Amino acid sequence: MQDRVRVRDALRAPADGRRITVAGWVRTKRAGKSVSFLEINDGSCLSNIQATIDGADRELAAAVEPVSTGASVVVTGTLVESPGQNQAVEIAATGLVLVGPSPGDEYPLQKKRHSFEYLREIAHLRPRTNTFGAIARVRNHISFAIHRFFNERGFLYVHTPIITASDAEGAGELFQVTTLELEKLPGSSSPQVDYGRDFFGRPAFLTVSGQLNAEIYATAMDRVYTFGPTFRAENSNTTRHLAEFWMIEPEVSFCDIHGNMDLAEEFLKVLIRGLLAECEEDMAFFDQRIEKGLVESLRSVAESDFNRITYTEAVEALTNSGASFEYPVSWGRDLQSEHEKFLTEEIYRGPVIVTDYPRDIKAFYMKQNDDGRTVRGMDVLVPRLGEIIGGSQREENLDALEARIVELGLERDDYWWYLELRRFGTVPHSGFGLGFERFIQYCTGMQNIRDVIPFPRTPGNAAF
Ligand code: ATP
Ligand code: MN
């Protein structure tokens, strides 16, 4: 295995007859009398490399005989110019080792196109398809690009906890973490749980957001971000919600809502540009097979200014459009995804940042405006998906924050440390959360969020 070449590098090498060895999984085999062909993929790129097996070579012909779709092989040969249309080079095999055979007709991935629903049922094999291989590479590329983006701008990467005692969003979509044997709790009457005997001595949950902890570090280190898994017991079965997803959350001191919008816009544009430049082959695949015009629309997003409007303006624009919606539009109600899509697809034809939402539909920590009824929240909306980023300028005024916590009936004592950040050296600060999978959906055109994460967790489904 030492001098094995990845398929990606082999395909870029000159056809100079060099000896090479590749290893991978057989995507297709075409057996002929005089020559047989193997298409081999090793995940390093979308393309397969073709190996030709000379039927006149008895030993080779015998070795290729039991090889079929799905098998793993190691092929040695010389890299030569390919007479075929689809590739510049191919391997003229001189040696072939069948590492792991595959009963070809039982292999769940046949040459025909499989539905994404079917592929979800074989999530252990779906990375061997073109689509899921491309998604895995794009996720990998964007993950690194995110760290690079923040690193180059002096942001500190903070590891916020996964287990937490606070509900950052106050939305009540929490998964509880406990070592109590719940099945031993009496089922008849509702039992009084003695949390003193639970692992943490109090109720604990999987985090829905790293924001509150990120604020602690932002008010010491100036600018930070977290990038980790978050969990929401979303009971909605939509194509945009997972129970476990990854979120990127920058938090910046001495920054107001405008700086926050600038950061979000630059962030998305830099990521899109990098993706188009560095994942060309995979992006061309998504453009051709998943969403026509994808690359062109991403390019134009990366090059034009995002529209910025207030919630009040959004409500007016939707009302004046005369369009009819399933959910009514009126000031004070949250925008539904149909409204978000209409704004981005029909009215503004591109990304829109909506700010200054009614305080009653947003979280307690958002900075209150002087009008007494709106807060400095911002959502970034994009065509096809609606919300992709949610963020805000945070309330840095101790009295205002305290009053809001009391007004909402939240436990003041639960937020004692959060309030102290406002008591000692408070500072205007802002941040946002980008749903990693929503962004991958946006960049690939994939319709269902279950297909852009390796192992989706949704209501009733935690297989694999
Ligand atoms: P939505 O209204 O779409 O449910 P939200 O208002 O609950 O979103 P935030 O709490 O602002 O979202 O979270 C920040 C970002 O995290 C969202 O903009 C979105 O990209 C992503 N996100 C939120 N919930 C989910 C989920 N269940 N699955 C995947 N991504 C999510
Ligand atoms: Mn939600």
Per-residue model confidence as pLDDT tens digits over 133-187: 999 999 999 999 999 999 999 999 999 999 998 766 666 789 999 887 766 766 5
Element (H, E) at 342: helix 337-342
For residue 169, give the ligand 1 atom closest to its CA: 10
437 lines ligand 1 (CB under 6 A): yes
Q: Following CA atoms 187, 190, 192, 194 in sequence, which dihedral angle do they give, to the nearest 10 degrees? A: 40
The whole-number pLDDT of residue 44 equals: 98
Distance 436 CA to ligand 1 centre (A): 10
Pocket test for ligand 1, best of 245, 248, 392 (most atoms within 8 A of CB): 245
User: What is the rounded CA–CA span in Å between residue 5 and residue 334?
Assistant: 54
The whole-number pLDDT of residue 151 equals: 98
Helical segments of 408-447, H only: 416-423, 436-444
Q: Helix and strand tally (H, E) in the chain?
A: 13, 16
Q: What are phi and psi of 98, to 5 degrees?
A: -85, 105
User: Ligand 1 atom 24: the closest Cα is on which residue?
Assistant: 241
The alpha carbon dihedral of 166, 168, 173, 175 has a sign of negative
387 lines ligand 1 (CB under 6 A): yes
For residue 247, give the ligand 1 atom closest to its CA: 16
The whole-number pLDDT of residue 290 equals: 98
Structure tokens at 200: 């943490």
Residue in the block written with tokens 């509702």:
190
The ligand that comes nearest to the alpha carbon of residue 230 is 1
The ligand that comes nearest to the alpha carbon of residue 448 is 1
List all residues 6 or more positions away from 426 whose beta carbon is below 8 Å from its beta carbon.
219, 396, 397, 398
The whole-number pLDDT of residue 85 equals: 87
77 lines ligand 1 (CB under 6 A): no
User: Ligand 1 atom 15: the closest Cα is on which residue?
Assistant: 435
User: What is the rounded CA–CA span in Å between residue 464 and residue 455?
Assistant: 7
Distance 435 CA to ligand 1 centre (A): 6
Rama region for 201: left / alpha / beta (φ>0; ψ in -120 to 50; rest): left
The whole-number pLDDT of residue 284 equals: 98
All residue ranges of the chain with pLDDT < 70 are 1-2, 167-171, 182-183, 185-191
The ligand that comes nearest to the alpha carbon of residue 362 is 1
The whole-number pLDDT of residue 245 equals: 98
247 lines ligand 1 (CB under 6 A): yes
User: Ligand 1 atom 25: the closest Cα is on which residue?
Assistant: 241
The whole-number pLDDT of residue 192 equals: 74
For residue 389, give the ligand 1 atom closest to its CA: 18
Distance 242 CA to ligand 2 centre (A): 10
User: Ligand 1 atom 1: the closest Cα is on which residue?
Assistant: 387
User: Ligand 1 atom 2: the closest Cα is on which residue?
Assistant: 387
For residue 449, give the ligand 1 atom closest to its CA: 29
User: What is the rounded CA–CA span in Å between residue 95 and residue 76?
Assistant: 5
Pocket test for ligand 1, best of 267, 357, 438 (most atoms within 8 A of CB): 438
User: Ligand 1 atom 27: the closest Cα is on which residue?
Assistant: 241
**Listed residue (172, 154, 174) closest to 164, CA to CA:** 174
The whole-number pLDDT of residue 172 equals: 74
3-state secondary structure of 429: strand
258-282: pLDDT as tens digits: 999 999 999 999 999 999 999 999 9
User: What is the rounded CA–CA span in Å between residue 243 and residue 249?
Assistant: 18
Could you tell me the CA-to-CA distances from 160 to 199, 208, 246, 457 in Å, in that order?
A: 20, 11, 13, 21
445 lines ligand 1 (CB under 6 A): no
438 lines ligand 1 (CB under 6 A): yes
User: What is the rounded CA–CA span in Å between residue 315 and residue 333?
Assistant: 9
Q: Do strands 307-310 and 352-358 pair parallel, antiparallel, or not at all (unpaired)?
A: parallel
- The type of residue at 231 is F
User: Ligand 1 atom 16: the closest Cα is on which residue?
Assistant: 435
274 lines ligand 1 (CB under 6 A): no
1-56: pLDDT as tens digits: 558 999 999 999 999 999 999 999 999 999 998 999 999 999 999 999 999 999 99
